Structure 1
């Protein structure tokens, strides 16, 4: 593990990002996590994660965290905010991360957004679309910025998120019309699988095969 490049993780303090951190360490990966607050720093460092402090909304913070001497192979971003958060990181924070990744010659950028973003807008009910419109618009901007950046990318759009233990039934699909729910731990498993080249330059929805809305006919995206 010593000579491997780092995987840079933004959003490791909670939710899907925290679950990704757990799984990456189980896989003996070298992880550098950027945290905005000290709250979970000690816990992540105890796991063997290198922690750097910084706010994704601050370009200088992001560049200082990513453009160090140690090479970064992959960037994974789960950052985002709720509508009441004021200035959200869904677009601007991710834009800063993407731009810094280009400067750092990162090989791959994995961005976690949400079903309802971009061409998956019709997959969620109109009332949900209306409530989430500001956030989804920013996530759409982030997706487009990543695709236009020239970086090798994978965009993963999870359905509704739950915090229960992994079910092992998480699946990916390129079909933007599929929706459902999925546990955060299962999203983390899928994200880590997508570090492989199979998912390069793909936009994928993530759901639990047993928690889909309706009974859609679609093709599962295989990572094997």
Structure 2
């Protein structure tokens, strides 16, 4: 499976590249980045190919010879509304449209907890959650075989290999970026996760078992 990883220089994406190259040799990661100087680092991490493309410009050249797309780009919850709209909303929508145009049916999205209910999120990041919500809805309505992963508060701690997955989790919780990458790798070629959306935080269920129960 050839996978286009959008936002490949992000922390979750970099964890995904490492884990895929170590554990799933059948998955070839085409890392999409904005800056040429990031290229060598992604290749060293295990990407099979690197493509330079900017979500704020034309991106269609990145979607050739691809079987699946992962959207892991994000402006972050503390950027201004203009950058959030350009990356988290418009960039995501452009990526969905490009996947459809190129006949790519599998699409995974890294979203955020509270994206279903932005009004329940902190006021300081509500613009970010609204952008994520609209992008998620756009993907759901696209007809693609999507999976939307909504992680809780992200940490850089060592992976635990255990999570709590549920369609909606009311309580706030943390999860390591490495565990999110593991979940992403587990759902990527798993048909029982097609057309599903879920929240995920740290928990006590092994990731493969939690994904199998989605």
TM-score range relative to shorter protein: 0.7 to 0.9
Runs of 4+ in 1 over 3 A off after TM superposition: 119-122
Residue equivalent to 2:73: 79
After TM superposition, give the deviation of residue 162 of structure 1 in Å: 0.3
Aligned equivalents of 1:120 and 1:178: distance in 2?
Answer: 14
The alignment status of 1:49 with 2:59, answered yes or no, reads no
Residue equivalent to 2:4: 8
Specify the SS of the correspondent of 2:134: helix
Residue equivalent to 1:17: 13
Residue equivalent to 1:186: 179
After TM superposition, give the deviation of residue 16 of structure 1 in Å: 0.7
CA distances 1:146-167 after superposition (whole Å, capped 9, x unpaired): 0111111000000000011101
Counterpart of 1:132 (choices 118, 125, 132) is: 125
Aligned residues: 201
CA distances 1:85-140 after superposition (whole Å, capped 9, x unpaired): 54230101111111000111112110011001014754x5xxx2x11111011001
Counterpart of 1:104 (choices 102, 105, 114) is: 102
Moved more, 86-95 or 157-166: 86-95
After TM superposition, give the deviation of residue 57 of structure 1 in Å: 2.0
Asked whether the equivalents of residues 118 and 129 of structure 2 are also in contact (C-alpha less than 8 Å), the reply is no
After TM superposition, give the deviation of residue 175 of structure 1 in Å: 2.5
What TM-score comes out, normalization by structure 1 length? 0.83
Aligned equivalents of 1:173 and 1:221: distance in 2?
Answer: 9
Q: Tell me the C-alpha RMSD between the 2 structures.
A: 1.9
More helix by share: 2
